[in-house]
Amino acid sequence: MQRISVLITSSPESLTACLDAVAFCRAAINEGQSIDQIFFYQAGVYHANGLMDASANEVDLTKAWQSLATEHAIPLLVCVGAASKRGIVDAEQAEQAGLSQHNLFEPFKQVGLGEFFTFLHTSTKLVQF
């Protein structure tokens, strides 16, 4: 069984790449593979923005990631540096910065790059979208 880490650097606006990523994860799980983590980096952190709203005729990628994570217990990890640079903060970071609200969507979790590399050491494959 392969243990796969998935790295998302595509923004939600790159719909084809993002739908391919979700489909890849589901297919890998259906084939008996394990997804160790899905790590959102660079423009990929926008997937975790809880204030983004998909139109009625658009695919809600944030909900697709949430569903995948919930159904299969896959951690959705967001690079804290890349996210905060793009205005995406969790409750703790918002409080520390004196902000009135946070916008990190559950179950996304902000972490440092070190946590990404820790998971990567146990993975047999890294796939980037």
pLDDT tens, residue by residue, 44-92: 999 999 888 777 777 889 889 999 999 999 999 999 999 999 999 999 9
Please check whether residue 24 is in contact with residue 68, taking contact to mean a CB–CB distance below 8 angstroms.
Answer: no
Question: Is 79 one of the annotated active-site residues of the chain?
Answer: yes
Domains of the chain: 3-128 (3.40.1260.10)
Question: Of the residues 74, 79, 88, 89, which is catalytic?
Answer: 79
Strand spans (E) along 68-114? 76-79, 109-111
- Give 104's DSSP letter: B
| 0.75 surpassed by pTM | yes
- Give 105's DSSP letter: P
Which candidate, 110, 126, 124, places its Cα nearest to that of 41? 110
Which candidate, 37, 66, 50, places its Cα nearest to that of 126? 37
Could you give the CA distance from residue 115 to residue 77 in angstroms, rounded to a whole number? 9
The mean per-residue pLDDT over the stretch 22-46 comes to 97
pLDDT of 31 reads 97
Please check whether residue 63 is in contact with residue 53, taking contact to mean a CB–CB distance below 8 angstroms.
Answer: no
Cα 35 vs. chain centroid, distance in angstroms? 12
Q: What's the mean per-residue pLDDT of the chain? A: 94
Could you give the CA distance from residue 88 to residue 81 in angstroms, rounded to a whole number? 10
The mean per-residue pLDDT over the stretch 1-16 comes to 95
